[in-house]
Structure 1
Amino acid sequence: MKKTIALAIAAALLGIGSLANQGFISSAQAASTTSDFWLKKNDAGWVAAAAQGKTVVSGKSDTHGGVTLKVSEILYDGLRMNVVIEREGDKKFLKYGQKGAIDKLSFAVDNKDLGFLPTMMTDNIAFVTLANAKKTILPDEFELTVQAKVGQVNEPFIIKVPVRNNLGKVTDLKPGTTKKQDKFTYQIKALRSAGATTILDVESEGPAPADAKVLKQNSATKMYYDIQDDKGKLLLQQERSIENKGPKASYSEQIIYLSGVSSSQFVTIRPFTYTKQKNGKLLADNKGEWIKTYYKSLEAKIPLKN
């Protein structure tokens, strides 16, 4: 069983480009958007696009029984798609079955069902994420169909939105870099980056190296990986899971970060662990932030450009 620590949730964006003639308006043109809410989630990919006026609001909606649902914003960059669905009017959170509550959501691309997609509900907003670390998830251009079941409304809500990846091509590197310290080994299988997303594909074996000064009678968690760009800035990871039990013998992970790295000449992979105390809590500083132990000998510099 895991405690999932949601460090950040991606916000929605998509370059406006030729979509302006297909029912899209820019966030600057929209009378009301969810921008301020999602900005608080610190999604660097979204923040950068918003600063350039590239956040797109679809304006597509459907109304039944006095309830209106709107697809407010969409991000698609070839590696992840985020959809923000907003109930207009009443901003309060509604429980399942209450009138106006978004009880169920389903999605299709060019009429092909996408199946279950992780959804976060807050107040009057549903936020949906689709990401795939190993391949481009969808074509560069498609029609997204959002279907919703709303509490105490018999008719289904159906909203169709044209989507295009206007954030550039996905870069796909396969470094194969391997690093080892003590009994711990990891290999960087792939590093993929798009306009607003970076995904690290990494495999590891063995326990994290022991640091006697930090651990004492405590224990190290599994290994985690920060990505640092060539300006020294760390990319924010979408979420990070803390395991209740001790680390497993091996891991195969695809880790999503909420920023692209196309402007960097290189990135540095910086493995680290947290320290679990005997009481099960993670060691924290005086600000309550969990303390990271980095392993300099395990760091790997990955060039992005020739």
Structure 2
Amino acid sequence: MDKQLNPIPDQRLEELERRIRNTPMPRNSMSSQIMNEIGGRNMTKQRNGSTILKRTLTAASIAVVMGAGAVGAGFVSPTMASALKQIPGIGSMFYGMNSDEIQRAVDQGILTQPLEQITKNGVTLTLTNVLYDGTRLSYSIERTGENLPERVPSPYVPMESELFTEDKEWKSRVQIPEDQQQKGYIISPTTFINNEELKASKGFGDDIGNPNAVFTEYTNLGSLPNEFELTVQAKVTQIEEPFEFKVPVKISSNNKLVIQPNETKSYENFSYTLQKIESTVTNTRLVLESTGEVPASSEQTGKYAPTMMYYEIVDDQGKVLSQRKTGFFHRAPDLEYQVDELYDAISPNAKSVKIKPYTFTVNTDNWNVVGEKTNEQGKMESMGDKTYIKELEMEVILKQ
């Protein structure tokens, strides 16, 4: 986003509010809908701006569609810089990974650099990195060429898509026939596993740390084989034929630790059952289901209320595993949830982890999170005040 900002009309903000109220907002990321709505326009966050404007800007505080922090050039230690020398496109792929984890991922075949390159009509795409560890599938595509637009992901919306907007000017810019679109944008790729299209939760957008690349990530993969042919088809605006990459993917069958406790913890009217923890050198996957009304603390009364339940993971080496994306709903929590989330990797020598359930506190007048803070650049410094429910903590043994 530009530093100099102009206000969005109130009616546009009200419409955004309606659209996101019942949609989980990634608190460490930015949804593609919000990016499409406000990412490409100039805005001003005025001191006396509306509550809706403030909420929208908070939701869009990190300017990437996918989500997650990154290994930025200014934050790479000498040790990590050495480990990453041979890995192009430092960015979203390496979120939450230290240099040792990256090296182990390379050694185990989880992270590869195909560097396959295809050129069509003056545009070159390179499949730079592929990561598959059994819990997520990610890849980066770099774009080079002459007279290309500054941004890499396509800002256009398909003509057949229904847009709930009265902003005809904005609609005319993003929803135009293909033959009138600017050349050179990468459209969200299609992915195939052994020639069968992959149907899973998908994110697509800018690759943090590499301004000339896009990043695609799939989670909630279901059951994929340890060995398969990955096909990536990426279309570029004003180029008729798609760019197609085919690369083999193979990981070891013993690269993943799977724990299935099926243990239940209860407190007041709330309970959750931990079904599975999957651990690799790059990620930790937490699968559980919960039922009942979330417990409220003494501070969560009146107009203040708890959110849905969230789950922090801490291993016995003292490492707090950051959650890759933390969804937030602008309404009261449901009574049942099926949680399937990714976190940072567990420390290699850890023998156990502790699950620490917690809630945020919201003001039900506007659904703002109490304690949420962003800096002048719009980067989130605090997601909000957490209330831990010690009665619901659970220790899980990983190794004897």
TM-score by length of structure 2 reads: 0.65
Instruction: Give 1:9's aligned residue.
Output: 68
Matched, 1:212 2:266: no
Cα shift at 1:78 = 1.4
Matched, 1:291 2:385: yes
Q: Deviations over 1:194-226 (max 9, x none)?
A: 221211111111122121145454100011001
Counterpart selection for 1:43 from 66, 80, 95: 95
3-state DSSP of counterpart to 1:118: strand
The verdict on how the C-alpha distance between 1:47 and 1:290 changes in structure 2, with shifts beyond 3 A counting, is farther
Output the CA distance in 1 between the equivalents of 2:197 and 2:70. 23
Matched, 1:158 2:217: no
Counterpart selection for 2:184 from 91, 100, 103: 100
CA contact (8 A) 1:267 1:303 kept: yes
Counterpart selection for 1:128 from 212, 216, 220: 216
Instruction: Give 2:340's aligned residue.
Output: 254
Structure that is richer in strand per residue: 1
Output the CA distance in 1 between the equivalents of 2:294 and 2:319. 24
Counterpart selection for 1:282 from 361, 364, 369: 369
Amino acid at match of 1:131: T
CA contact (8 A) 1:272 1:295 kept: yes
Cα shift at 1:142 = 1.9
Mean alpha-carbon deviation: is it higher for 174-183 or for 102-111?
A: 102-111
CA contact (8 A) 1:80 1:131 kept: yes
> Runs ≥4 in structure 1, deviation > 6 angstroms?
none
Output the CA distance in 2 between the equivalents of 1:38 and 1:91. 21
Matched, 1:59 2:119: no
Matched, 1:70 2:157: no
CA contact (8 A) 2:200 2:220 kept: no
CA contact (8 A) 1:70 1:87 kept: yes
Cα shift at 1:125 = 2.2
The verdict on how the C-alpha distance between 1:117 and 1:280 changes in structure 2, with shifts beyond 3 A counting, is closer
CA contact (8 A) 2:115 2:127 kept: yes
Root mean square deviation of aligned Cα? 2.7
Q: Deviations over 1:171-205 (max 9, x none)?
A: 22111221111111111111122221211111111
Cα shift at 1:167 = 8.9
Instruction: Give 1:86's aligned residue.
Output: 142
- Unaligned runs of 5+ residues in structure 2 are 1-21, 29-66, 72-82, 157-180, 374-380
Output the CA distance in 1 between the equivalents of 2:227 and 2:368. 46
3-state DSSP of counterpart to 2:113: strand
Q: Deviations over 1:263-302 (max 9, x none)?
A: 3100000000000113321100676540100011110000
Cα shift at 1:88 = 2.2
Mean alpha-carbon deviation: is it higher for 65-74 or for 247-256?
A: 247-256
Cα shift at 1:52 = 5.7
Instruction: Give 1:173's aligned residue.
Output: 259
Counterpart selection for 1:223 from 291, 298, 309: 309
Instruction: Give 1:21's aligned residue.
Output: none
Cα shift at 1:73 = 0.4
The verdict on how the C-alpha distance between 1:131 and 1:279 changes in structure 2, with shifts beyond 3 A counting, is closer
Instruction: Give 2:193's aligned residue.
Output: 109
CA contact (8 A) 1:110 1:142 kept: yes
Output the CA distance in 2 between the equivalents of 1:202 and 1:115. 21
Amino acid at match of 1:127: F
3-state DSSP of counterpart to 1:297: helix
Output the CA distance in 2 between the equivalents of 1:58 and 1:11. 21
Output the CA distance in 2 between the equivalents of 1:203 and 1:116. 19
Residue identity (%): 30
CA contact (8 A) 1:77 1:167 kept: no
CA contact (8 A) 1:27 1:56 kept: no
Amino acid at match of 1:38: S
Cα shift at 1:127 = 1.4
Output the CA distance in 2 between the equivalents of 1:219 and 1:61. 52
